[in-house]
Each structure stands twice: as structure tokens, then as C-alpha cells.
Structure 1
């Protein structure tokens, strides 16, 4: 069976602008406006889901999707670092940040390791293989999109740090478990690379 998974990263918000470990930051006015402008460019799907964050839910709504919450698409669980800026955490816990960036099994923040994130997202992605052929559209946090690509392409976990996911970008995976193809980051904003 073949499935097409279309991952859309949510619109911009203050947490992204400030390089914060998001927590559950909402969309700001410019993010909401950008998502509404992108709505006509969203591809058709047989089913739509979104990560449980406010940002994903509000982006899906602004894109005009009738999507359901998918808990497996929650943002990377970064424990006590949630809501802090990267520079703040780096100043406070330089050894912890260094370990987190170097070791995919490290979780100095008390949350999920990179390996745990990739396994969770990969489990969701592989579960779609058991479903009927079709097109699944998911609004998911950038960390989830990056983990999906790492899992789908059987990349080493360290490749996660080399993948950039812009707000309102479309990443497409097609295939099935252990045999995915990738189409990367088509912007959903009018005039942005079309």
C-alpha cells in the first residue's frame, strides 16, 4: 500500500522568533494572517490531523482544515527547558546543552531524547502503512517534521540537526514503512518560490 503524508509546519509565532523551546505558544497576528493567505495552496487530503499544540491547532484552523488532534505529533518534550530561550539554557546548563546536541540518547532536560522523538514520530508514520491508501495532511511542529524525515529516510539521528523547517512549509513523504520518498519544503505562501 502507498500513502502520501503531507506535513505542514505551523505558522510563525513569538517563540520561534525568540528561539524558545516552544512549550505551547500560540500564533501571533502575523502567523494567523500568513496561514489564512496560504490556505488556498493547501493540497487536498483524505484526512487531516494536527499536533496537539495551540500553534498547530490554530494553524490548521486558519488553513481551513477540518483536522483532528493527533497526540503522536506533539512537539519534542524538552522537560524543564520548555518555554526558555536557547541562549538562556546554554548559559545556565552549558554541559547539558552540549550533551543534548552531541548524543541522540541524551535528555539532560528531563524530557524526551532525540532517539525517543524519532521513534515516536516514526511509529506514527509507520502506523499509516496499515491504513488504506490515501493522502494524510498533518500540521506538525518543526521538530516532528524533522524527526519524520530522519525516520522515513533511515538517516542517522544526527542528521536531525541539519534539517531546517520553515514556517508554513510543506514536506511530502510518499510510500510505506521502510520505503519512503521525500519531496522537501514547498512554501505555502503566495509568491514564495512558486
Structure 2
């Protein structure tokens, strides 16, 4: 059985524009307009899912995936006490901690989740999804896409920061028996 999984990165929010660690803020007006414009760009879905964040839920709704179920395994990276702060603010307060976090995937100086643990968490979800029939579509935070691209390609977790995931793009995974292929970064509404 070949499994098909499409991850759609959530629409833009004020937190993303400000390089702010997610603080639960909603999609901004431009992001909402673009998500609504892309509604209908996602073909038939057997299993619609959503990361449990406000902006992912709002994006899924705007795309017409209103029945999408929360997938806690696809929650964004837990940045602990840095949540709500900008990268600039945290870098000013804790420059050594930020440098360590960006260079060592196993570190979690914010008392949250390390990049390594995060990549493992979402990779377990993808492996479990290989045994689910039909087409899965999930609206997720960009770091979920990053983590799965890194793991699927067998790249080291240090490559996590080198993967750009623009808002409202689709990354598709297809495979069977533990072997996945990746089709990355297609803007929604652009066909084959």
C-alpha cells in the first residue's frame, strides 16, 4: 500500500512576521485572505488533520478543511520559556543559549523540546501514518515540515535550520514500507 501525506504550512500571522516564537496568535488578515483564495486547491482528502494551534486551525478552516481533527503529535516545536518572545529579544537576553540551540540539535536551553526530540516525535507520526489507507492532509506549523523533510531525506538534524518553508505551501510525502519520497514547497493553487 502506498501512503500519501500532504503537509500544508499555515498562513502568515503577526508572530511569524515579527520572528516571534508562537504565542497562540491567529492568522493575520493577509494570511486569511490568501488561505481563502487557495480554498479548493486541495484535492479530495480522506483524513484531514491540523496542528493544535490557532493559526493552523484558522488556516484549515479557510482552506475548506473545517472537519480537520487535531493531531497533537504534529504540534509545533515546544520552545518553553521563549514562547511569545522574539528571536531578537531572546538573543539579547541569552545569546549563548540561542547559539547553542541553533548549533546543537540535542540542546533545549529554553526548557522545552530539543530539535532532535521534535524531529523524532513527528517522524514517529509519519511512520505510523504509513499504515493508514487513503490520503492524509494536515495543516501544520512550518517546523513540522522542516523536521519531516530532514528525517525523510536522512539528513542530520543540524540541517533543520536550512529548510525554508513559506506559508501556504504543500509538501507531499509518498511511500510504503518505510521508504518515503518528498515533493516540497508547491504553492497552493498551483497544479502539476
Partner of 1:159: 159
Give aligned pairs, total.
Answer: 191
Partner of 1:185: 185
Q: Is the aligned partner of 1:81 residue 2:82?
A: yes
CA distance 1:177–1:71, change in 2 (3 Å): farther
Structure 1, unaligned runs of 5 or more: none
Q: Is the aligned partner of 1:130 residue 2:114?
A: no
Per-residue deviation, 1:189: 5.0
Structure 2 Cα separation of the partners of residues 163 and 103 of structure 1: 16
Structure 2, unaligned runs of 5 or more: none
Partner of 1:32: 32
| Deviation >6 Å, runs of 4+ | none
Structure 1 Cα separation of the partners of residues 77 and 103 of structure 2: 17
**Aligned alpha-carbon RMSD (Å):** 1.4
Contact 2:3 2:131 in 1 (8 A): no
Provide the TM-score with structure 2 as the length reference: 0.95
Structure 1 Cα separation of the partners of residues 131 and 41 of structure 2: 28
Q: Deviations over 1:142-169 (max 9, x none)?
A: 0111111112222110111110000000
Provide the TM-score with structure 1 as the length reference: 0.94
Written as runs of structure 1 = structure 2, the 5 A alignment for 1:60-139 is 60-65=60-65, 66-132=67-133, 134-139=134-139
